[in-house]
Copies of this chain bind each other. A is one copy, B any other.
Amino acid sequence: MTGAREACGVFGLFAPGEDVARLTFFGLHSLQHRGQEAAGIAVSDGLGLRVHKGLGLVSQVFTESVLQPLTGSAAVGHCRYSTTGSSSLANAQPFYLDTSLGPIAVAHNGNLTNAHLLRRELLERGVGLVSSSDSEVITQLLASPEGGDDFVDRIRSFMARAVGAYSLALLTPGSVYGVRDPWGFRPLCLGRLGDGWIIASESCALASLGAVFEREVEPGEIVQLDRRGLTSHQGRPAQQTSFCMFEFVYFARPDSRLMGRTVHRVRQEMGRLLARQHPARADIVIGVPDSGTPAAMGYAQESGIPLNEGLTKNRYIARTFIQPDQRMRQAGIAMKYNPLLENLRGQRVVVVDDSIVRGNTSRAITRLLRQAGAAEVHFRVSCPPIRHPCFMGIDFPTYEELTANRVTLEELAEALGVDSLGYLSVEGMQEATRRAGFCLACFTGDYPVPVQFGLEKAVFEASPALEAVR
């Protein structure tokens, strides 16, 4: 699967006595799959905040000499999704502001569907904005004294007006706040590290620090972490829970726990149900590495067809901006995947991927398998066709670019050059999670909150007045 980008990972901890910047570094390192474009850490020493952020992987932005002076008792961190070229430091997070209540730093995962309205309102109120990011909009809203005299009131005031997805980690000199929107679109969990507390987008970040998973932050909840420990505030009554199904399908790390389920297990179950819904006569099952592997394993277990590896993925592909030449472009995606010849030659192959967005990768993989001598190619997808854009934080393409909108499944099978094509049903996908309360909008078009078509991409794009700094 390619072509969809998550909008960020957030992390925060209150842990006096610990090396909070270093712990945040490793927390973000575990969340690196949620965003590779930029990373940042803000620390509090109880009096003021310091922020360091930069473009690149967490391990590129932070060196020992950067980390060491970032001492303090609390921190928040952020990593941001990757784009080619249009990246900008002005959009990097955490976003810092001095306010009438003192300084704050905000890390945000998600996307407000009414960001354009809130932005216009701020501009008309005389607040100039330095970036195109809706995270700056959130931070400036929290700076407004109209919201109240403390940050819990201001966060509540913000939540009363914000529509859409937001999991926030917010740092003030004295506290860390974790905030999750009332629909619970994006994940946010809570853990303990000795006497300290941690919030993180995914539980894998807790595990990597030796912290103990406590629970998820509830939709609509504000958790406040400070010298008094954990305090839970109701920020806004929970709405109909609408957790992003795509976290289970693709985004979350397989070892994370969401809604009490290990993500890998759910993906494996999706593969099992896929095998039941779309069986195939074949000799081997392979997954598209790495995201298709768990479902392929489930498909193999359910179908009894042996699992094998059919494609190798170059582990070092990330962040290569060198363009191939014409000859190589014609050779397709060979740079990223290579076939395992002896495993494929003469075989009838079931290939399982987690999703199809534009279809380019699926077509190229099919061609690779054919070139390697596969006798038949049966393409199986462990989620339903993606037909609708996301307004809640995933950078899917527009309607026009979503393959499943343009053609029938039959046409798609033919375009991909496969012998058969099967998608998991919406019901099967839900069944695999053994849970309810999902946002399925990208599959069904039923958006849990009002959205305005035409704005789905805007929030991901650099403003024309982008500020590029170095």
Contacts and interface: CB of A to CB of B under 8 A. Distances in A.
A96 B130 contact: yes
Contact of A29 (B29, B96, B316): B316
A355 interface: no
A33 B307 contact: no
A207 B146 contact: no
Contacts of A254: 309, 312, 340
Interface stretch (A110-118, A179-187, A261-269, A413-421): A261-269
A325 interface: yes
A103 interface: yes
Interface string A97-139: 1111001100000000000000000011111111010000001
Nearest to A308: B297
A306 B315 contact: no
B316 A210 contact: no
Contact of A33 (B25, B316, B322, B335): B316
Task: Count identical subunits in the complex.
Answer: 4
A347 interface: no
A241 interface: no
Contacts of A58: 316
Given A33-B316, A204-B312, A63 B322 contact: yes
A23 interface: yes
B54 A343 contact: no
Interface in A132-170: 132, 139-140, 142-146
Nearest to A268: B308
A130 B469 contact: no
Interface string A302-338: 0000111100101111111111110110110011001
A320 B58 CA distance: 9
The interface centre, meaning the residue of A97, A125, A262, A469 with most chain B CB atoms within 10 A of its CB, is A469
A210 B328 contact: yes
A323 B293 CA distance: 31
A209 interface: yes
A417 B264 CA distance: 26
A335 B208 CA distance: 5
Contacts of A104: 128
25 contacts: A25-B322, A26-B324, A30-B338, A32-B315, A32-B316, A48-B465, A52-B470, A53-B469, A59-B321, A61-B470, A63-B322, A64-B321, A92-B469, A126-B144, A126-B145, A128-B142, A208-B338, A253-B312, A255-B312, A255-B340, A255-B341, A262-B340, A264-B343, A265-B342, A316-B318
